[in-house]
Amino acid sequence: MNFEQPKPDSKKYSDLINEIQKGIIKIPKFQREFVWSIDKTAKLLDSILKGYPIGTFIFWQTDERINDIKNIGNLKIPDTPEGTKVQYVLDGQQRITSLFAAYLGAQIQKTGEKKITNYSDIFVNLDKDVSENDDQVIAAEPTGEKFISLYDVLNFNFGKAKKLSDKFSEGELETIDAYSTAFKTYEFSTVVLRKEDIDSAIEVFTRINTSGQTLTLFEIMSAKTYDEDQKFDMQAEWEDFIKELKDIKYEGVSSTVILSLLSLILSRTKECKRKTVLALDKQAIIDNWDAAISALKDSIDYFRTTYRIPVSQILPYDALLASFAYFFFLNKGKPGPAQRKYLEEFFWRMSLSYRYSSSAESRLAQDIRRIDLILKNERPDYSDINVYLESSQSLIDTNFSAGNSYCKAVLCLLAYQEPKDFQDNGKIILDNSWLKIASSKNYHHFFPKKYLENKEIPNSNSLVNITFVSDRLNKRIIRARAPSSYIGNFKDENSNINKALKSHFIDLNGFGIESNDYNIFLKARSKLIFDVNDKWNCPVL
């Protein structure tokens, strides 16, 4: 059996730059952003000047076009000429970008940084011997010694060096010329992978990046499905969708949702495991993308309006979006009365059973069979799923965590009540950024933790002790005060405060508020929450 082995080769500095400028060498979008500091770039160029090896560049040569980086800072990378094979950088992106930026003296603003880095600010010290190990190429303001810009060295032409003759002696110009020649003639080690299929290229990239960045499934599928002629860019499409979701506070949705949905829709086996997603037909994905995104929007709207889940942060699992979007993709309309009932039971059973805390892909595939039954107006069987809510005491014993799916399910129930502000009965605005961790602004311990700590009362972080409040009330007014104190003040301001409290499953009467009795409060509130199992439509409770 014959295997075509990639053959080592080399490219000169000018050849590398020339091929980048012609659009032949490209950096695929799945590579990480350019992050090297200018000091690290200077160190790289110093190694080249001294003739040290700097590692091998690995390219994938192909006729295929995948999504690539269009700009490096202020440098636009041209399109690959028609009929020309492109060479995508699989290994060496940080080095090759550094070489390109240094050669052109580029100004680059890295992602997330305000500062613009000027790569003309790299200098070569002419007073030091190239044979010495001192750094001769530096990214620092030169002081007291003879320096020249690296950009001038890389682009030096001895025959046209008159403008530098006033600044440098004949001997120094000869040194600059020698350094320029050293850069221009340096042989960069290269290996070109010539297998045309993208799977081989991604496999190579994954293997050589085991200690660095690992490609996500979404990055792989974005690369595989990119199509210039059809103007399809999965990554850009998803980013546009997330921008839309930001307006309705659902921007935290994972990209795995759309891949799971597409796989459940398009695969013959209705599975969404990695190997199934990777095997999906490119054209089928492109053809069904808009309908899949529309179904996702329908499922989000359903969660926001029917279940009154106002933000993605308290959604127990993203996988629920995939299963509901699958329903909307196939149902082609709003659910009927029986379907609404069965979907509600499905939602709460999955949310209160830690269903997708592990093996989410295989369990989602199993649950799609339940959605298929709901599509037929039939109630699924749930005998294999345990809902972990045996009594009101189980709620009391649950420690609150903002990332726990079970806690999120109960928070969804609280959000369904559309909790009112204690001070004026206004609607409490929930925000993803205020719900990320247990100490975030929207979460309030009705019996403040500080207050309970001072009383040496344990279990202050019980899930039953959690309510939603505005940032203003939580941090500026309530703070560590006893419930009898702050609720008493709100009672004077708000004649309908009991209406507000009831929207939190709390009542002025029988909840131990006036006596600051934490145990009475926990028992009374947990019973109210537990007793709404009819609303949850979970007959097993």
Predicted pLDDT at 74: 66
Q: Domain residues of the chain, as ranges?
A: 8-202, 216-335+360-372, 392-536
C-alpha to C-alpha distance for 470 and 75, rounded to whole angstroms: 46
C-alpha to C-alpha distance for 376 and 381, rounded to whole angstroms: 14
C-alpha to C-alpha distance for 501 and 380, rounded to whole angstroms: 36
C-alpha to C-alpha distance for 2 and 277, rounded to whole angstroms: 30
Predicted pLDDT at 479: 80
C-alpha to C-alpha distance for 510 and 215, rounded to whole angstroms: 56
C-alpha to C-alpha distance for 168 and 147, rounded to whole angstroms: 10
C-alpha to C-alpha distance for 449 and 447, rounded to whole angstroms: 6
Cα-flanking dihedrals φ and ψ of residue 501, to 5°? -60, -40
Q: What is the 3-state secondary structure (H, E, C) of 245-276?
A: HHHCCCCCCCCHHHHHHHHHHHCCCCCCCHHH
What is the four-CA torsion angle of 418, 388, 385, 371, rounded to 10 degrees? 10
Q: Closest by alpha carbon to 392, among 536, 533, 540? A: 533
Q: What is the mean pLDDT of each run of 10 residues along the chain (541 residues)?
A: 66 90 86 84 92 90 82 76 88 88 85 81 83 76 78 82 76 88 91 81 72 72 86 92 94 94 96 92 96 97 95 95 97 93 94 90 95 97 84 90 92 92 90 85 91 86 93 75 92 92 95 95 93 53 35
Helix (H, G, I), strand (E, B) or coil at 123: strand
Half-sphere CA count of 349, side-chain side, radius 13 A: 20
> Where does residue 328 rank: exposed (0-12), middle (13-18), buried (19+ CB within 10 A)?
buried
Q: Closest by alpha carbon to 16, among 165, 185, 173, 225? A: 185
Task: Report the predicted TM-score, pTM, of the whole model to 2 decimal places.
Answer: 0.77
C-alpha to C-alpha distance for 296 and 238, rounded to whole angstroms: 12
Helix (H, G, I), strand (E, B) or coil at 410: helix
Q: Is the Cα dihedral 265, 270, 276, 277 positive or negative?
A: positive
Half-sphere CA count of 503, side-chain side, radius 13 A: 19
Cα-flanking dihedrals φ and ψ of residue 438, to 5°? -60, -25
Please report the DSSP string for 290-320 in residue order. HHHHHHHHHHHHHHHHTS----GGG-S-THH
Predicted pLDDT at 5: 67
Q: Closest by alpha carbon to 464, among 392, 540, 386, 390? A: 392
> Are the C-beta atoms of 422 and 429 separated by less than 8 Å?
no
Q: Closest by alpha carbon to 411, among 398, 393, 426? A: 398
Q: Is the Cα dihedral 41, 44, 49, 55 positive or negative?
A: negative
